[in-house]
Amino acid sequence: MDITAYLNAFTGFFVIVDPIGTALIFNALMPDADNRSRAITAIKATLISIALILLFGNYGEAFIHMLGININALRISGGLLLFFTAFNLVTREVSMPSASKEKSDVSVFPLSIPLLAGPGALTLSILVFSGSSDQKASVSIFLAVISIYVLTLVMMLLSKYVKKVIGKTGDEILRRFLGVILAALAIQFIYDGITNISSAV
């Protein structure tokens, strides 16, 4: 296993997906649901998100090549999008979706898209999989994706307790700290894209 590839992918997805913050939002979306309904919704959202991330990670690069887009251009644009996400995490107030009074399936929207597999996560999946140097690195990235979403699933299932332990203040502090880390990762993507384009000229 490629530890470096695993840690890079794990860190990036951890920051974007934010298992703890997602758990708090999940709890806000389903405050009165029974444990069985909460579990079914959380599992369904997690499986959908994993499928989307792996699909984009493995076939997203081929798709952008069909459109005539260079992977380094995607690294730069993806880095800019991730930086914008990081900027919002650090500077803006986070609003939680209000829970609907009607019983509705929230596993696809807003849980899977855009919380668990939003634009940032999908962009990151293409970047990390396209940047994998060999099969070993690809397997490590795959394991990192599974690890993050399993962790997120556990956090959602334990969301009632997570809310009691961390609270709103703790979540805000964590979001801003992770936003700084994500900003650094985004700048690294932009730097790599510019460097590769410059060396190819």
Domain ranges of the chain: 3-94+106-200
Mean pLDDT of 148-164: 94
pLDDT at 100: 47
3-state secondary structure of 67: coil
SS3 154: helix
Structure tokens at 11: 């860190």
Residue 93: pLDDT over 70: no
What angle, 0 to 180 degrees and rounded to 10, lies between the N-to-C axes of helices 35-66 and 71-91?
140
Name the band, by pLDDT with cuts 50, 70 and 90, for residue 96: low
pTM of the model: 0.76
Range of weakest confidence among 34-38, 97-101, 140-144, 150-154: 97-101
Answer whether residue 101 shows pLDDT above 50.
no
